[in-house]
A and B are shown apart, each in its own frame.
Chain A
Amino acid sequence: GQQLNQSPQSMFIQEGEDVSMNCTSSSIFNTWLWYKQDPGEGPVLLIALYKAGELTSNGRLTAQFGITRKDSFLNISASIPSDVGIYFCAGQSGATNAGKSTFGDGTTLTVKP
C-alpha cells in the first residue's frame, strides 16, 4: 500500500527559529494536506495543496506540493511556543475513494522559550 515517510521524527528548537519538515512517497498523490495535533485533540488542518508545484502560505506557515507529486514540505518561520505539537502530512490519491488519506507518522515539535 501507499506509505509516507515523514522527517524529521522530532525537532527541538529555540523560539524564533525557522522549522522545516517534509514528506516523501513512493506513490503519486493528487492532494497533500498538513495537519497539527495538540495533546488530547484531533488533528486540525493547516494547509491543503491541490496542484503540483503549488506553494501556499498561511501566516507563518508555508507548504509546497512537489513537482513530482511524490513529496511536500512544510516550513514554519519565527517559531513561537504555541507551535508545539505533532505535525502530520497526509496524501490523497484523488481516485475512486478520494477522501481516504494516507498519513505520515508525524513530526513532534518542541519549542524552547
Chain B
Amino acid sequence: GAGVSQSPSNKVTEKGKDVELRCDPISGHTALYWYRQSLGQGLEFLIYFQGNSAPDKSGLPSDRFSAERTGGSVSTLTIQRTQQEDSAVYLCASSTRGEGEAFFGQGTRLTVV
C-alpha cells in the first residue's frame, strides 16, 4: 500500500488480557516509531526502530509494553496484562531516515474495559 497501515483499527479488550497491535510501514522506510495519544493530548513517544540498530525503548511506560520489528519491515507492539490506563490511540509512523518528516498511520484505538 501507499501509506502506513495499522491493524486493527479498533480493539476492545478486557483488563488483564494481552493485545498485539500491528504496523506495516511504507515500503523502503528504514525508521519506524510508535506513539501513544490519550484523549485530548499530544503524542507520547514509545519506541523507535532505525535500520539494524538497537531500538530506542526509552518511552515504553512499563515492562508490560514491548515491540518487535521483523525483517526491518512490519512491527508489532505488545501490551501484556492490559490496564484501563492503557486505553488510548496507538499511532505508528515511518520515515526514510531517522530525522525529519514521518508518515503516520490512522492508529489503533485501544479500549480496556
A67-97: which residues lie under 8 A (CB-CB) from chain B?
88, 90, 92, 94, 97
Question: In the complex where A97-B48, A105-B42 touch, is A92 in contact with B99 (Cβ < 8 A)?
Answer: yes
Give the chain A neighbours of B56 by CB distance below 8 A: 97, 100
Distance to closest chain A CB from B55 (angstroms): 9
Question: When A97-B48, A97-B56 are in contact, do A43 and B43 touch as well, CB less than 8 Å?
Answer: yes
On whether A40 and B106 interact (CB within 8 A), knowing A31-B99, A48-B101, A50-B100, the answer reads: yes
Q: How many A-B residue pairs have CB under 8 A?
A: 72
Cα–Cα, bound, A33→B42 (Å) = 14
Which B residues lie within 8 Å of A102 (CB)? 45
Contacts of B42 in A (CB 8 A): 4, 6, 88, 103-106
Q: In chain A, residues 34-52, which have Cβ atoms closer than 8 Å to a Cβ of chain B?
A: 35, 40-45, 48, 50
Q: Which residues of chain A have a CB within 8 Å of any CB of chain B?
A: 4, 6, 30-31, 33, 35, 40-45, 48, 50, 88, 90, 92, 94, 97-106
Q: Which residues from 34 to 57 on chain B have a C-beta closer than 8 Å to any C-beta of chain A?
A: 35, 41-45, 48, 50, 56
CB pair A43 B48 closer than 8 Å? no
User: How many Å lie between the Cα of A1 and that of B87 in the bound state?
Assistant: 23
Q: A33-B100, A88-B43, A106-B42 are in contact. List 18 more A-B contacts (CB 8 A).
A: A42-B91, A43-B91, A45-B102, A48-B101, A90-B43, A92-B100, A94-B99, A99-B31, A99-B50, A99-B97, A99-B102, A100-B48, A100-B58, A100-B59, A101-B33, A102-B45, A103-B45, A106-B41
